[in-house]
Amino acid sequence: MKQKKMQMYNDGVITIYTVGNIAEPGNMPKEGIVEKVRLRFRRRTIGHTRFHESLQQNIKIDEIVRCPYRTEVSAQDKAVFLGSKEKYEVKKVVYIENTKPKEMELLLERVESNYDND
């Protein structure tokens, strides 16, 4: 049996957000970002092939990070690196097999945010 490769996430912390209602109960709904989860990550290189494949799908990839698998993370979530003001949208989640712990790659596109609480 092939042994699973142990992964290390030493490049930083990324916070994943979802878009939801941030209004106080009883007030009119107000759209904003709500924190889902914070994850340690490892940066990945955007290869030539992956870059051109993403352009064919009308996706611009600015960052790729690998982090522990979490079911609550999905495409269209928002992401911010700890210590950075730049905001990203999760364009694709790729699940990686044969690793320990189970992990995923997040393909991120830099975006301008227009939410009430960011």
Which domains can be identified in the chain, with CATH numbers?
5-111 (2.40.10.270)
In the chain, % helix, strand, coil (3-state, to 5) comes to 10, 50, 45
Distance, CA of 35 to CA of 68 (rounded, Å) = 17
Q: What digits encode the pLDDT tens for the residues 76-113?
A: 899 999 999 899 999 999 998 888 788 999 999 999 86
User: What is the reported pTM?
Assistant: 0.80
Residue with tokens 């999760």: 90
Distance, CA of 59 to CA of 109 (rounded, Å) = 8
Residue with tokens 């991120």: 108
Do strands 12-21 and 78-81 pair parallel, antiparallel, or not at all (unpaired)? antiparallel
User: Is the distance from CB of 66 to CB of 41 less than 8 angstroms?
Assistant: yes
Please name the residues in contact with 19: beta carbons below 8 A apart, sequence gap of 6 or more.
Answer: 31, 32, 33, 34, 76, 78, 115
Q: What digits encode the pLDDT tens for the residues 2-19?
A: 666 666 788 899 999 998
